[in-house]
Structure 1
Amino acid sequence: MKKMLKFLGVMIVVGVMTMFVTQFFTKNNTGMFSYVADMANPFVKVEDVYGKLPEKPSESWKDAANGGMDYGYNIDTVSESGEKRTVQITSFGSELNADDSLLKVSIKGQYVRKYEVINQESVPKSVLEKMGGNNE
């Protein structure tokens, strides 16, 4: 029984350490592993980041459910604290309009919880400076 409890304790410690360390390896990785790992990891905090939509999607694929096209965009973002990271958002059924270029993205690591098109006045001034000033 003592060996079993010791083994269980070691496994819990290893699991917690793995979740804590994983968040550093998933940063700026837009792959599915990073997305799922950050979504499930309780050590990854939720934050808002801001970015400019690229003119073209990074990738596109046929939607298995309805046969339409889906589009993925890799977006370079900046948080209010000045941290830069690359996240991927997905548009289902149609490409996003590059004219609606500024986005506010709610993320948990690489997991995108939601995104919305915003105007320049909605972006904090400190973020605009880090993004390179005027983004119109």
Structure 2
Amino acid sequence: MSESLLARLDPTKRVLKRAQYEAFEFSLFGGDVLVRNASHADPENHEYNVRIVDGVPEACECPADEKYNGPCKHRVAVAIRRPILDAVEQMQMVADGGVVSNEQPEAEAEDDSKSEDCDCEMLDDDFPCWACVDSGRREFSN
């Protein structure tokens, strides 16, 4: 996949804004993510399981995900929080019998190619996306 995860999901602006500002709480749940919306007065009645398939929030149990075209705010909230997707990926790999090592891989030669979730082209040339900073491909300029 060469496009960013957010571009692939293609949420509406309204859904993207809500995914950013609402007070979501996340729990790993059986290889997926349980998303609780703490913005509600009764958050226990506003929690939904988001199914993750190959690093992509594919489906949510909420009524909006079934009723409307495009992803719901819960799926987008997970998609924009890379550390949550990384934790799910690790959890799924261990559940499938993979081995997770705490050792850091040896540094490889610098690769200028963009990762699949790179959003640098949407940003100012002097400001890299988080995926590139996190992976070490680019640094913040001083």
Bin the TM-score by the shorter chain: under 0.3
TM-score by length of 2: 0.27
* Larger radius of gyration between Structure 1 and Structure 2: 1
**Higher RCO, 1 vs 2 (CA within 8 Å, ≥6 residues apart):** 1
From the two aligned structures, give the one with the greater strand fraction: 1
From the two aligned structures, give the one with the greater helix fraction: 2
